[in-house]
Structure 1
Amino acid sequence: MDFFCILLWLMPGNPNISAIEQYIIDFVTELRLKRQLTQADIATIIGVGRSFVNKVEDKKERAKYNVNHIDKLADHFGLSPKDFLPEKANKYL
């Protein structure tokens, strides 16, 4: 998974997504899929439209989760906001 995150970050068409942002996107997407939730479910949890979550997960048209989104997701799933971040800052750079 770590190598996959780095490859996604380095892919052309992804210039506005940093490695840590990609890590968060991948974490939320994996959490969503494991819990069998839709993009609309995540959108409801964070208080945005489904199209926003679609843009976050779309490799061509990227939006980003912000700290308020992470806080709402962490609260909803009983996690800490720090669970959405890599253990070390340079692990994905």
Structure 2
Amino acid sequence: MAKEVVKSEIELFVISKAKALREQANLSQSELAFKLDVSNGFIGQVESPNSPSKYNLDHIDKLAVIFSCSPKDFLPETNINK
């Protein structure tokens, strides 16, 4: 039986924010992977709800450089798990 993959609410928030910025910049998953210096499939895995892959703090820092914003822009203003 396949194990269900669960990403936390904050992980999903970060992923959603990064995906929105990627789409606004008209970058493909492959183009972002190149800029982020990760494998071609990594971004797709992160954006897939069925994969355990997610961004770490180093990725968030690099994403902020790529999208000319602050790393804090990838986090919610208030805690998600109230």
Give TM class, smaller chain.
Answer: 0.7 to 0.9
Identity %: 40
TM-score (norm 1): 0.77
Partner of 1:42: 32
Q: For 1:77 and 1:22, locate their aligned partners in 2 and report how far apart those are by CA, in whole Å.
A: 19
Q: In the alignment, is residue 80 of structure 1 matched against residue 75 of structure 2?
A: no
Q: Which runs of 5+ in 1 are unaligned?
A: 1-12
Deviates more, 1:79-88 or 1:53-62: 53-62
Superposed CA RMSD in Å reads: 1.1
Residue number in structure 2 paired with 1:33:
23
Provide the C-alpha distance between the structure 2 equivalents of 1:72 and 1:30, rounded to a whole number of angstroms: 16
Query: TM-score, normalising length from structure 2?
Result: 0.87
Matched residue pairs, number? 78
User: Which of the numbers 6, 11, 31 marks the counterpart of 1:21?
Assistant: 11
2:40 & 2:29 partners in 1: Cα distance?
6
Aligned partner of residue 50 in structure 1, secondary structure: coil
The aligned amino acid for 1:19 is E
List structure 1 segments (4+ residues) > 4 angstroms apart after TM superposition: none
